[in-house]
Structure 1
Amino acid sequence: MKGIISPVVTLLKEDGQIDICKNKKMIDKLIERGVHGIVLLGSSGEFPHFSMEEKKDYLKEILPYIGRRIPVLVGTGGTVIEETINLSKFAEELGAEGVLVVNPFYWETSDEQMYTYFRDVAESLSIDLYLYNIPQLTGQEIPINVVKRLSRELKNIRGIKETVSSMARIRLVIDEVARMTDNFHVYSAFDEHLLDAQLSGASGSINGSSVFLPEVSVDLYNAVQKEDFTEIKSNHLILCELMNIYSLHPSFFLTMKLAVHERWFRDNPVGYRKPFINSEPYLSDKVKAIITEYNNREAGSLY
């Protein structure tokens, strides 16, 4: 899978329950604007905040609705391997293209423990498994040697999402794993890394701003393919500016959710799952200013 894979937020009603109708509308808007794939129940999708039953009920509605219009990855990782396998197989049954699996968190694991976790999940599936490296939230990086071993020994481990602050790690996994393994894909995550990662050989990006301003990432990705330097520069600078959104609140998915509402559902209330409420009185105004600035720059073309 190549291109811009949007990690969608999970939109909620005012009582904190999942709003299926609004989530479907958001996904339609992303597909209409050219994203190449969707991630459900990732970090932006608040996967730790929902019970297994809630996740399954959500997937039962959303995966058939998307159908084969666009490839879908489902975030299924966690700290209980049986639950990870259970949810991964459930996603497989509903037609997901693959699963995006974070390494176990809270306790640090040895290389062998981490390898065993991913191996056991991959062996339980017929669909593809993508590793999810996000050390700032798990407390531990997936070591390169573990990624190498998994990619060599398990054919359905097909790539990795690298949510890391340094491009050096992304280049390393491209050079030492992707270039040495058939059909292994590396995806950048932070928006400002999209261009550098593409030039280094990444397959695409799973970046936060693509859920509320997908055109910018899609246009940049397409411009790289066409080697259109003017478009590359313009969209890259916008993505770099959008990185400010990650620093507005410690729970960055809140700002993503507010941005989605400002872009797509301006007149609808924002739903939260306690305790992850909007605790900053001016956060909504700051997010609105970001969307408005881009909207003004495009002279109203977004709407």
Structure 2
Amino acid sequence: MNAAYLTPAITLFHEDGTLDFESQEHLFNNLIENGVDGILVEGSSSEFFAMPMDQRREMAKFAIETVNHRVKLIIGTSHMVADEIVNFSNFCLDAGADAVMILPPYYFHFGTEALLQYYDRLAAQIHGNIYIYNFPDNTGYTIPPQTVLALAKIHSNIVGMKDTISGMDHTRELIKVVKSQIPSFEIYSGFDDNFAHNVLAGGNGCIGALSNVVPEVCSAWVRAFRENDLDGIARGQQTIDRLMDLYAVRSPFLPVIKEACKLRGVAASSTGTFPMPNATVEDDAKILELLRREGVE
């Protein structure tokens, strides 16, 4: 059974807020060497929302050059100004990104007609593949499956969707509504523990942040699916279910993911964008306990 696990890569900074390209390259190489199927940069886990556009372009260019087509690379180009999205998306695609990923407009809630107009305009002006990003916890509303289907029928460059919802109800409906008519349309879950359910329901897998920390665990889970290894699938589910406790160490969870990468020797610093809190000594103890419980060092 086919499946894919993509990593929404964290962005690594020096303590002065500049990009730590040495650690970032180490992270990308570690992900690829440990078997992830693709990398998303400048998604929610990347803190795009607190990065100026010149830094976002710098990060995108570095990611494109470093990943260098070894795996699929998607760049998150979400912004509150549509023209900025178009310009940034085409910049990324021209530089060699495989696709871009775009949230719906946030702050205000928009209905079906506005969402159709929004993505219709973007897709008509962006000359490359687009993934829709549905994250209702952060945008305040969800994108209906029928809207996604309508857009995918109008624009062949709208090729997939990341559905970041804790349950599977909405994702399952997306799979039924959209993939039944456009089988090539890719649907990924945004929470790691929904990976197996997504694949078994007919989706494509997961874009989950735990893979920053334990890419080897996530890629082994994918292999179990590809080899129809039921015991391996069950082990993967149970391991990820326990590792989901990392998300609960503190809120927001990004400092914990970064600190876990630092503790595993992947990142030099866990510095985040202001006002993202730093991980604490108490957090470190919890992180190490969770990782050691799963035999991860």
Shift of 1:281: 5.1
Q: Is the 8 A contact 2:225 2:233 kept in 1?
A: yes
Query: What residue number does 1:282 align with?
Result: 282
Q: Is the 8 A contact 1:209 1:256 kept in 2?
A: yes
Q: The residue matched to 1:180 in structure 2 has which SS? A: coil
Q: Is the 8 A contact 2:50 2:273 kept in 1?
A: yes
Shift of 1:97: 0.5
- Give the whole-Å Cα distance in 1 for the aligned partners of 2:265 and 2:294: 14
Q: The residue matched to 2:295 in structure 1 has which SS? A: helix
Shift of 1:110: 2.0
- Give the whole-Å Cα distance in 2 for the aligned partners of 1:270 and 1:135: 27
Shift of 1:62: 2.1
Greater shift, 90-99 or 57-66, is seen at 57-66
1:159-198 map, 5 Å: 159-198=160-199
Q: Is the 8 A contact 2:13 2:269 kept in 1?
A: no
Shift of 1:157: 0.4
Counterpart AA for 1:254? P
Query: What residue number does 2:94 align with?
Result: 93
Q: Is the 8 A contact 2:116 2:147 kept in 1?
A: yes
Q: Is the 8 A contact 1:26 1:264 kept in 2?
A: no
Output the TM-score relative to the length of structure 1: 0.93
Shift of 1:176: 0.6
Query: What residue number does 1:45 align with?
Result: 46
Counterpart AA for 1:58? M
1:181-220 map, 5 Å: 181-220=182-221
- Give the whole-Å Cα distance in 1 for the aligned partners of 2:175 and 2:56: 32
Q: The residue matched to 2:173 in structure 1 has which SS? A: helix
Greater shift, 218-227 or 184-193, is seen at 218-227
Number of aligned positions between the proteins: 296
Q: The residue matched to 1:177 in structure 2 has which SS? A: helix
1:99-178 map, 5 Å: 99-178=100-179
Q: Is the 8 A contact 2:106 2:139 kept in 1?
A: yes
- Give the whole-Å Cα distance in 1 for the aligned partners of 2:147 and 2:107: 19
1:55 and 2:53 are equivalent in the alignment: no
- Give the whole-Å Cα distance in 1 for the aligned partners of 2:254 and 2:47: 7
Shift of 1:128: 0.7
**Runs of 4 or more above 3 Å deviation:** none
Unmatched 5+ stretches in structure 2: none
Q: The residue matched to 2:7 in structure 1 has which SS? A: strand
Query: What residue number does 2:81 align with?
Result: 80
Query: What residue number does 1:299 align with?
Result: none
- Give the whole-Å Cα distance in 1 for the aligned partners of 2:266 and 2:38: 22
Q: Is the 8 A contact 2:39 2:71 kept in 1?
A: yes
Q: State the identity as a percent.
A: 28
